[in-house]
A = this chain, B = another copy of it.
């Protein structure tokens, strides 16, 4: 114990640069929260921070500071930064999925339109975060990739279910699944381009036009794929 570390002298008091940003301002009374509350708070902070800056540009210190807690506590809830990021992405994905849920008693085409409209509305409402996540989301970690891929699969299931029951078997072939996955890429790229055009003040199509573009493209893909696989089916 007595072996004072003293190395040289480095490790100064760090000048305490916590601005008025964090919660613990004056006397810093230790705030004790319930596990779920704290976790929810941290995920919420993750959503805003990772939605504004890229992964590398968000430091654990910044998060802890904004939450008014120590860095160590964050590691009590998430084992690594990547796991924390994964939890954030997971939350964003589940909110997206939830907010684009549609009435499954409605006719398929109506559901498709409603779902796409909800999607585009969500994208527009969270434009910056959507763009940031889409441009830097995956790739940080296989776990993140898994979450994103599962979310995409959820959308594909939702959009194609009830959608021409007779076509379902055909939509399970390798080429059809590739086509559907491609369409998701289409939708994401188009949505991203759309909100970026808006953000930059460029002339951009209306939401209705974009929705029609996505819907008609999907239907065309489904139609032509099914036709090529079931040539006996009447067009």
Q: Beyond A188-B185, A204-B174, is A179–B139 a contact (Cβ under 8 Å)?
A: no
A10 to B5 Cα, complex, angstroms:
13
A177 to B190 Cα, complex, angstroms:
9
A193 near B178 with CB under 8 A, answer yes
In the complex, per-residue mask of A169-199: 1 if CB is within 8 Å of any chain B CB, else 0? 0000011011101111111111011100100
A193 to B184 Cα, complex, angstroms:
11
A189 near B184 with CB under 8 A, answer yes
Give the number of copies in the complex. Answer: 2
B136 near A178 with CB under 8 A, answer no
A193 near B220 with CB under 8 A, answer no
A23 within 8 A of B: no
Q: Which of A31-39, A157-165, A209-217 contacts B (4 or more CB under 8 A)?
A: A209-217
A77 to B135 Cα, complex, angstroms:
27
A201 within 8 A of B: no
**Within 8 Å CB of A56, what residues of B?**
56, 140
A139 near B145 with CB under 8 A, answer no
B197 near A190 with CB under 8 A, answer no
Q: Beyond A54-B139, A139-B136, A216-B224, is A193–B205 a contact (Cβ under 8 Å)?
A: no
B139 near A182 with CB under 8 A, answer no
A221 within 8 A of B: yes
A175 to B135 Cα, complex, angstroms:
22
A217 near B213 with CB under 8 A, answer no
Instruction: Name the residue of chain B whose CB is nearest to the CB of A206.
Output: B175
- What are 29 A-B pairs with beta-carbon distances under 8 A? A54-B141, A55-B139, A56-B56, A56-B140, A135-B138, A136-B138, A136-B139, A137-B139, A174-B197, A175-B205, A175-B209, A175-B210, A177-B193, A178-B204, A178-B210, A179-B217, A181-B193, A182-B189, A182-B190, A182-B217, A185-B186, A185-B189, A186-B186, A188-B189, A216-B224, A217-B217, A217-B220, A217-B221, A220-B224
